[in-house]
Amino acid sequence: MTNLPTKSEIETAAQTVYAAMPATPQYIWPLLRVATETNVWVKHENHTPIGAFKVRGGLVYMANLRADKPGVSGVIAATRGNHGQSIAFAARANGINAVIVVPEGNSSEKNAAMEAFGAELLVHGHDFQAALEYAEGLAVERGLEMVPSYAMSLAPGVATYGMELLTAAPDIHTLYVPIGLGSGITGCIAAREAMGLKTEIVGVVAENAPAYALSFAKGEPVSTNRADTFADGLACRVPATDAVPVICEYAARVITVSEDEIRNAMRLYYTATHNLSEGAGAAALAGLLQERSIMAGKTVGVVLSGGNIDRALYQHILSN
For the chain, domains (ranges, CATH) are 7-53+152-318 (3.40.50.1100), 55-146 (3.40.50.1100)
Task: Give the model's pLDDT for residue 71.
Answer: 87
pLDDT value, residue 101? 97
**Could you read off the pLDDT of 171-202 as tens digits, one per residue?**
999 999 999 999 999 999 999 999 999 999 99
pLDDT at position 35 = 98
Q: Is the pLDDT of residue 117 over 80?
A: yes
pLDDT tens, position by position, 163-179 = 999 999 999 999 999 99
- Rounded to the nearest 10 degrees, the angle between the axes of helix 311-318 and helix 259-273 is 90
- The CA–CA distances, whole Å, from 277 to 86, 143, 161, 282, 315 equal 17, 36, 17, 6, 12
Q: With 80 as the cut, is the pLDDT of residue 2 above it?
A: no
pLDDT for the residue 1 = 61
The per-residue pLDDT for 81 is 86
Give the mean model confidence (pLDDT) for residues 265-274. Answer: 98
Sheet harboring 200-206: ordered strands across?
26-28, 39-44, 299-304, 174-178, 200-206, 253-257
Residue 73 pLDDT: 83
- Residue of 279, 83, 38, 90 whose CA lies nearest to 184: 83
